[in-house]
Amino acid sequence: MSRPTTTLSGAELLACDDVTVRWQGRAVFARTRWTWRRGEQWAVLGPNGAGKSVLALALCGKAPVVRGEIHYPFGAARDEGAPAPAPEKAIALLSPATQRDLATHEGSFYQSRWHSGLAEGQRTVAQFLSPASVADLNPFEVGARREYGARFRERQRLLRRWLGLDGLLRRRLISLSNGEQRKVLLAHTLLRSPRLLILDDPFGGLDAGSRARLRAAIHRLMRARLPVLLLTSRPDEIPPGTTHLLLVQHHRVVAQGSKAALLNHPLARQLALAGALRLRDAASGVPALAPRPRGPLATHAAPPLIELNHVTVRLGRQRVLDDVTWTMRRGEHWALLGPNGSGKTTLLSLIQGDNPQAYAADLRLFGARPHSTQTLWRTRQQIGWVSPELHLHYPPGWPCLDVVCSGFHNTVGLHQPATPRQRRAARSWLQEFGLGDQADTAFGELSLGDQRLVLLARAVVKPPKLLILDEPCQGLDAAHRHAVLARVDRLVQRTGASLIFVTHHAGEMPACITRVLRLKGGRVENAGGRPTPSLPVRRKRLPRPRSRVQRVARGDPSMVPVAQEA
């Protein structure tokens, strides 16, 4: 069983002793032996579906260990006679599932963020990062803990600076973008002062600047000797401070050891080499992506598909979109780019009809103004989409075949019987994405990457005239990313659909993309022209901090908010 123990030596931080885990009715990670020694920093590297998240749940005491034991360093209680902390209290896990729990708590359906009049989801970022929220305190409890004073506020200021959260404090959690929510969740997690921090796909959904901030924050935490376990399918995301790797595949540990040695392991090299998206994916038989067209962009006389004329959208006092004018014509394929919080998701919510402000905006979709619910419903029938918000809110219990069939009706879940023709089409698309044998499997039982592929099949099953893919490669390993991008190119060629593609990685675009709409601060920074990779940002060297206040602002390791060892 998994329980705190005092049998570890002083040099050991955590140990799996002949451990086998039960997951979805079967034994996984059979007979696993692994020791994490003090001073080491580990990462778990493996493809989608390898079992990384299952291993993290087992370490947190949230997946049953049916053989062997997991030994922890925090078995001894701080106060004599008090119970030892349980793993789930001492270990903090930040994962896509954590974000899904927050999203569903703040809003019961994925369009909730656009309906400001609803009573649910009213917490602001400042309230979420308050002592009462972090400690889960009951304000009416007699004798509730009140030790969150000046030191807590100092740690809070430090984390807000590290992660760039000061501008979000008055925003409601439900109104944040996918990447902004991740940063706020990390701050909330660190304010709990965990003994061990597990980060599952922490960079997903973050723009380049936010990824750089997070890397720096993780580096500071490691320097402060907080044990950090990072789970990823991308070797380039492994933090520089990581010293050791666990390589996992097919729900078992295939290798463990120093990072320097294991980055040359065949599995690690396969994941790294597959990141070159123009290489042929031999496993799936997907052809290499076609080269981008050369020469000047063609001018199109095609009729407009989307027209926005000086559109402004407000959430409270904030202008999320500010005087946006943009036209997309039939047959065009656009990349929609911009940092977290730049207004990309709000723009897409208008086009999809999820945002009620679409009725008031000077907006035309497929040549018509959305003046009624019926008009918007007809428009939505011509659109297929994938988005992080849809993924977060999709109920995990639906069979994958029903998830794909729900694309015919634009519903979250299938609430009316699918016709035989629709079910045949859904099975065909599951087969297209290599998931034909998962038709009856519950959506939530698939890996994160396979769930994203099911939602992509849902988006194209109609087939649509406009395909909106909002970060479709988020959470996917390199092989899956390559497969998705190659299939997107084939889809637009085969169906004639126009495409809007959102990504935070300049190297992860389909070859068909020839135009770019770039937003910044809710305004159009650039519209038209070819996508070009972003250049690295040169950082200024700051003067060496001298005072305590300066050391806190710069992130001195002695100021890092981590728990003291027992």
Residue with tokens 């016709």: 419
- The residue among 411, 377, 382, 408 whose CA lies nearest residue 394 is 411
pLDDT of residue 547: 46
The tens place of each residue's pLDDT in the chain, 566 residues long, gives 444 444 566 688 899 999 999 998 899 999 999 999 999 999 999 998 899 999 999 999 889 999 999 998 765 333 444 445 567 678 999 988 888 788 777 665 555 555 555 444 578 899 999 988 887 744 434 344 445 678 888 989 989 988 889 988 988 888 787 778 888 998 999 898 888 999 999 998 888 888 888 898 899 899 989 999 999 999 999 999 999 999 999 999 999 999 999 999 999 998 887 554 443 333 333 333 333 443 334 445 688 999 999 999 987 777 889 999 999 999 999 999 999 888 898 899 888 887 888 888 889 988 888 777 777 778 888 899 898 888 888 888 999 999 999 999 888 888 889 999 999 999 999 998 888 999 999 998 887 778 888 998 999 998 889 999 998 888 888 888 888 888 889 888 887 899 999 998 877 889 999 899 999 999 999 887 666 544 343 444 434 444 443 444 344 434 444 443 33
How many Cβ atoms sit within 10 Å of the Cβ of residue 439? 18
- For 311, what's the count of Cα atoms within 13 Å in the CB-facing half-sphere? 28
Give the length of the chain. Answer: 566
**DSSP structure class, residue 516:** E
Task: Look at the alpha carbons of 299, 301, 305, 311 in this order and tell me if their dihedral is positive or negative.
Answer: positive
Q: Which residues pair with 499 in a beta bridge?
A: 333, 467
- The residue among 93, 100, 30, 107 whose CA lies nearest residue 59 is 93
pLDDT of residue 274: 58
Domain range summary for the chain, segments of one domain joined by +: 1-85+195-273, 304-382+462-527, 397-455
Q: Which residues pair with 329 in a beta bridge?
A: 304
Per the CB < 8 A criterion, the answer to whether 499 and 523 are in contact is no
Which is it for strands 196-200 and 228-232: parallel, antiparallel or unpaired?
parallel
Report the C-alpha gap between 104 and 174 in whole angstroms.
9
Distances (CA, A) of 218 to 74, 186, 477: 22, 11, 21
pLDDT of residue 247: 97
Domain 1-85+195-273 falls in which CATH fold? Rossmann fold (3.40.50)
pLDDT of residue 76: 39
Q: Is 477 exposed, middle or buried (0-12, 13-18, 19+ CB in 10 A)?
A: buried
Phi/psi at 398 (5° precision): -75, 140
pLDDT of residue 565: 36
How many Cβ atoms sit within 10 Å of the Cβ of residue 381? 14
Query: Which run of H or of E encompasses 142?
Result: none
Per the CB < 8 A criterion, the answer to whether 179 and 210 are in contact is yes
Report the C-alpha gap between 444 and 465 in whole angstroms.
29
pLDDT of residue 300: 53
pLDDT of residue 545: 43
Per the CB < 8 A criterion, the answer to whether 118 and 91 are in contact is no
Q: Does 2.60.40.650 match the CATH number of domain 304-382+462-527?
A: no
Per the CB < 8 A criterion, the answer to whether 162 and 555 are in contact is yes
Phi/psi at 306 (5° precision): -135, 135
Distance of CA 402 to the CA centre of its chain: 24
- The residue among 385, 368, 374 whose CA lies nearest residue 500 is 385
Residue with tokens 């997070």: 214
pLDDT of residue 496: 86
Q: Which residues pair with 255 in a beta bridge?
A: 247
What's this model's pTM, rounded to 2 decimal places? 0.79
Q: Which two tokens stand for residue 1?
A: 């069983």
Report the C-alpha gap between 9 and 398 in whole angstroms.
46
| Helix ranges (DSSP H) in 316-441 | 344-352, 373-380, 388-393, 400-405, 420-432
Report the C-alpha gap between 353 and 350 in whole angstroms.
5
DSSP secondary structure string for all residues of 310-346 = EEEEEETTEEEEEEEEEEEETT-EEEEE--TTSSHHH
